[in-house]
Amino acid sequence: MRKNSIKNTRINGEVLKELSEIIQREIKDPRIAPMTSVVSVEVAPDLKTCKAWISVLGDEQACADTLEGLKSALGYIRRQLARRVNLRNTPEIEFILDQSIEYGVNMTRKINEVIESDEQAAQNRGDSESAAADAESME
């Protein structure tokens, strides 16, 4: 099975859906943040391993606690995944913290700051140009 085959894409989607459901509804670990979502899943073509990218809404401590809670519940999550998804092998899951949403928010904030500073500079230039024009018209 090729890495980007239709079968692998379907398996990735099904594992993503079921992992999200398990993490949101069934795990009661207080370390796992309530706003934890599975962003992406990549199951290896041989179905032995799975990388799951998760996003956590919160500070760095909440992210670290959530990863720790998910790693401690890994056996339960894998067993539930085996019951829900009919695969020849249930993959070993590796949780990876996804920083892309936080990165995007940070970049948007920086872009907005640059736009505001450009607008301020344009206003200051406009004010000084109009003052110079007023001074020339007075002479």
Report the DSSP pairing between strands 49-56 and 92-97.
parallel
Q: The whole model's pTM is what?
A: 0.73
Phi-psi region of 92 (alpha: psi -120 to 50; beta: other; left: phi over 0): beta
Q: Give me the sign of the Cα torsion angle 30, 61, 69, 3.
A: positive
CA distance 72 to 132: 69
What whole-number distance in Å separates Cα of residue 133 and Cα of residue 139?
A: 10
Per-residue pLDDT tens digits for 32-55: 998 899 999 999 999 999 999 999
Per residue in 67-96, pLDDT (tens digit) is 999 999 999 999 999 999 998 889 999 999
